[in-house]
Amino acid sequence: MEIRKIELNGQVFEYQLNIKQIKRCYLKVVAGKIIVNSGPYFSINEIEQLIKDNQDAVLKQIDNYLIKYDYSNGGFVYIFNQRYQIISYDLNNRKTVFHDDKIYVYHRQIQTTIEITLKTILKQYIEKRIQEYLKQAFILPMPAVEIKKYKSRWGACYPKINKVSFNLALVHLNYELIDYVIVHELCHFLQPNHSKQFYQEIKKRLPNYKQCEKKLKEIGI
Ligand SMILES: [Zn+2]
């Protein structure tokens, strides 16, 4: 892995270059970062030309990527894609209060305290949506819902114990993307693997699911 620099539209950006034993050269933007996976036979010129040829799409994806939180007094956190300003007081009380677009935190451990609230908010939303999906689109018993801080997945499904688990980071995103992850995990009760049939089950319920998948990949975790 190598970090290099490239100028796009008059601005300098870093990109990560991974040389791999592959035949082609792939470009992607993950979490606002440019990543190129290239076979060993491409020159730097060819690699950078690929980035330049896709400059508009790359810049758009970088712009779309937003930092979701800054857990400090005066910082912010996105909840369901809405920005809330953080105002904290050191009162040794793990409590948060919402007022308009502000979230008041009464403990010096700002992140831990806010995350307790976010867990509750996300769990309530997901449980409500699952109940709605079970009425309309699935014949399944209500599963247990768990919220966890995963490093590299948005959700998980455990059919044997009738449980679905979701990444706390989903709470920062818009409802459409969260709903996609919910439907994705519910479809795993019908099809355990990411087979063609699995994606057919998703498509029946969310015809535009590919856009959501793409967006989640771009956001990264
Ligand atoms: Zn899956």
Could you tell me the distance, in angstroms and rounded to a whole number, from the CA of residue 209 to the centre of ligand 1? 13
Could you tell me the distance, in angstroms and rounded to a whole number, from the CA of residue 212 to the centre of ligand 1? 14
**Whole-number pLDDT of residue 75:** 96
Across the range 25-32, mean pLDDT stands at 90
Is the predicted pLDDT of residue 147 greater than 90, yes or no? yes
Could you tell me the distance, in angstroms and rounded to a whole number, from the CA of residue 10 to the centre of ligand 1? 40
**Whole-number pLDDT of residue 67:** 83
Could you tell me the distance, in angstroms and rounded to a whole number, from the CA of residue 205 to the centre of ligand 1? 15
**Whole-number pLDDT of residue 93:** 95
What is the span of the domain harbouring residue 52?
Answer: 2-64
Report residue 219's pLDDT band, with 50, 70 and 90 as the boundaries: confident
Could you tell me the distance, in angstroms and rounded to a whole number, from the CA of residue 74 to the centre of ligand 1? 37
Residues 56, 138, single domain; the answer is no
Q: What are the tens digits of pLDDT across the range 190-217?
A: 999 999 999 999 999 999 999 999 989 8
Number of domains in the chain: 3
Residues 81, 131, single domain; the answer is no
Across the range 19-33, mean pLDDT stands at 92
Could you tell me the distance, in angstroms and rounded to a whole number, from the CA of residue 154 to the centre of ligand 1? 9
Residues 10, 44, single domain; the answer is yes
Could you tell me the distance, in angstroms and rounded to a whole number, from the CA of residue 52 to the centre of ligand 1? 33
Residues 60, 83, single domain; the answer is no
Across the range 181-186, mean pLDDT stands at 98
Q: What are the tens digits of pLDDT across the range 104-142?
A: 999 999 999 999 999 999 999 999 999 999 999 999 999
Residues 149, 208, single domain; the answer is yes
Residues 111, 123, single domain; the answer is no
**End of a domain among 115, 132, 153?**
115
Whole-number mean pLDDT of the chain?
94
Across the range 155-182, mean pLDDT stands at 97
Could you tell me the distance, in angstroms and rounded to a whole number, from the CA of residue 204 to the centre of ligand 1? 16
Could you tell me the distance, in angstroms and rounded to a whole number, from the CA of residue 197 to the centre of ligand 1? 12
Could you tell me the distance, in angstroms and rounded to a whole number, from the CA of residue 183 to the centre of ligand 1? 10
Residues 90, 132, single domain; the answer is no
Using H for helix, E for strand and C for coil, what is the string for the chain?
Answer: CEEEEEEECCEEEEEEEEECCCCCEEEEEECCEEEEEECCCCCHHHHHHHHHHCHHHHHHHHHHCCCCEECCCCCEEEECCEEEEEEECCCCCCCEEEECCEEEECCCCHHHHHHHHHHHHHHHHHHHHHHHHHHHCCCCCCCEEEEECCCCCCEEEEHHHCEEEEEHHHHHCCHHHHHHHHHHHHHCCCCCCCCHHHHHHHHHHCCCHHHHHHHHHHHCC
Residues 123, 158, single domain; the answer is yes
Report residue 220's pLDDT band, with 50, 70 and 90 as the boundaries: confident
